[in-house]
Amino acid sequence: MTTPILDVHRLRKLYPVSSGWVPGRARRYLHAVDDVTFTVMRGETLAIVGESGCGKSTLGRLILRLADPTHGNVWLDGHRITEMGPAPLRKLRRHMQVVFQDPASSLSPRMRVRDIIAEPLINLGVVRSKAEIDAHVGDLLEQVGLPREAADRYPHAFSGGQRQRIAIARALAPSPDLIICDEAVSALDVSSKAQIINLLSDLQRRYGLALLFISHDLAVVEHIADRVAVMYLGKIVEIGDRAALFDSPAHPYTRALLSAVLGMLDDRRGPRIVLKGEVPSPIDPPAGCRFRTRCPHAFDRCSVEEPKLAARSAAQAVACHLESLPPVG
């Protein structure tokens, strides 16, 4: 059996809330990520989707060890990175890179493109001599569709789409196995967005990269993902193959997301589902099913028992009590 390049097991992140805590009174926590489990195989793209504030980006930061989890573990190619100290983690970082949402803020305006791309090569000890660095930087620029002479310019001289190509070249520099794309195309116009998605797909096929694609844009996700995980209020409520999830969504929240965003593009999903109410506070999430306060199908069991993620088929799993009800008739 093939070992996943990324294995996330029961990952949890709670942030203590400062609100005049008194000794003897239970401290309150913001439940950013709560009991999340999934795997990503080599060469696969898993998309993490959900509304703003559902925990997608926090999940990415935990995997990158930009934040430490409250509980749970992350393995990268069999190495448990959640317990690693700074030195071994540094050695492993070359195998896991990230592309952030806004290249204008993730690329230093004071550095030439050559130095931006060369930074991980030098810091991670991939190459050492200036000749090696220059050759490698030029090759990387060409791989992302930019001329070699772009190395001598500063980020402000490029468009948003071109700056994101530079960010991708920097992520590719140490030859990673996994790239986390955190809303990597959401700041781009439609044309640039399509070009970057095609570039990521081409690079993935060329190098066998695994992608963890964090996004709220389901139209983009439908184009690039192999599998999709849907998050709501810190939890994964549904995960499965792209075709199974998009054509036959099981969770009421997934159905609502698809009807709202993709229903305008074709007629596969039927009428739009409008959810009532607001997303509950992650500081005080509802008991039982966290989606029950907005779910049109909630019943008594939903308020007292939290649904567990369970297989609906070989290609799809869902956390919903509706799936366990006997068929009518």
Burial class (CB in 10 A: 0-12, 13-18, 19+), 2: exposed
Average pLDDT, 10 consecutive residues per value, the chain (329 residues): 88 85 70 96 96 92 94 95 90 91 85 93 78 91 96 94 95 95 90 94 94 93 95 96 93 90 56 82 93 93 94 93 63
CA angle 118, 98, 216 (to 5 degrees): 145
pLDDT value at residue 270: 63
pLDDT value at residue 262: 62
Spatial contact of 51 and 62, defined as CB atoms under 8 Å apart? no
Rounded to whole angstroms, how far apart are CA atoms 125 and 290? 46
Say what the pTM is. Answer: 0.91
**Superfamily name with CATH number, domain 6-19+26-324:** P-loop containing nucleotide triphosphate hydrolases (3.40.50.300)
What residue type is assigned to position 100 of the chain?
Answer: F
pLDDT value at residue 328: 41
Burial class (CB in 10 A: 0-12, 13-18, 19+), 278: exposed
For the chain, domain boundaries = 6-19+26-324
pLDDT value at residue 329: 38
Residue with tokens 């709560």: 34
**What are the residues facing 7 on neighbouring strands?**
39, 75
